[in-house]
Structures are given as C-alpha cells and as structure tokens.
Amino acid sequence: MLKQFMPDQYVPSVYDIKIQELKENGVKGIITDLDNTLVEWDRPDATEELLMWFEKLTHAGFQIVIVSNNNERRVREFAKPHNITFIHSARKPLSKAFKTARKLMNLTKEETVVIGDQLLTDIFGGNRAGLHTILVVPVAKTDGFFTKINRRIERSVFRMMKRKGMIEWEKQ
C-alpha cells in the first residue's frame, strides 16, 4: 500500500530537477501541479525564476501541462499569460486528469513525468496513472484548508515509510 505513495524521485524544488537527465531518459512532457509546487498557493503570478525555468523547458523541447485541483479561474489566470495548457478541478488523485494531460501532449507514459508537492494527490495520482513521479518540497510553509488536512495524513505516511526503510531522504 505505501508503495503507491512513493515518489520515483525527490528534489527540494522544480529548479533542482535535472532537465538534461529527463531528456536523456526519453521524457518529452511534464505534468505539474500548481499551488505550492510552482508558486505559493496564494501567489497569483509566476515568479521571474519560474518563467526562466519554463523557458528552459520549452527550449529543451518539453511540453508542459498544469494539472490542478484548484478552480478554473485560479489556474487559468496563472497559466494563460504564459500560454501553458492546464486542467483545473482535476480531482487528483483520480487518474483521469493525468491521462487527459498525457493525451493532450500526445505522449506515452514513458515520455511523461509528474511533478508535485503532495503525496496524497500528485504522487499517488501520478503513480496510479503509471507515470514517473517527482516530489518537491512545498514552496510555502502555509496551505489552504483542505491541504492542511492532507499534510497531516502525509506526515503519517512519511513516518511509516521511514520506519520501513523506504525513504533515504527527509522531507524538508
């Protein structure tokens, strides 16, 4: 059961993901969460650093789709100015939005990775969809109401993983 929550990779932030390594492994598309993965959950716009990261990905030939459980207005207002495809109200960890994102990019499972900050939504959902998953540390120390509940459960899952020797890293 715990294996379903285990990310394939763990990095401190999206900026620590080795883009060239993904490319060498045949990855062509990135499905990413928005809130607390790319920017703080209450930040309406992308940071300059994030815009540079998007540009690096685009120049390297990657497609990007934001898959968020947040509402259409929040996700559209963030993604549209940067011409990023998005899926809102995704109902993660259900796998439908991940499959839809992959189909929008016209990519196979092997060509797609999922990046997110939550085990219970992003990683579990990406794993259920059969995709390579990358867990990042949340960019904000605070969360919205429902995410706070998920974080409490997530801490228990991390403790169980650690006790069973499944993780070698510590969530920061």
Give 24-47 pLDDT, tens digit per residue: 999 999 999 999 999 998 888 999
Judge whether residue 172 has pLDDT over 50. no
169 in a structural domain? no
**Separation of alpha carbons 39 and 98, rounded Å:** 20
Of the pLDDT bands very low, low, confident and very high (cuts 50, 70, 90), residue 157 is: confident
- E strand or H helix at 57: helix 48-59
CA dist 73 and 170 (Å) reads 34
Structural domain of residue 13, as residue ranges? 2-163
Strand partners, 125: none
How many domains does the structure of the chain reveal? 1
Q: Which CATH number covers residue 41? A: 3.40.50.1000
Per-residue confidence band for 144, with pLDDT thresholds at 50, 70 and 90: low
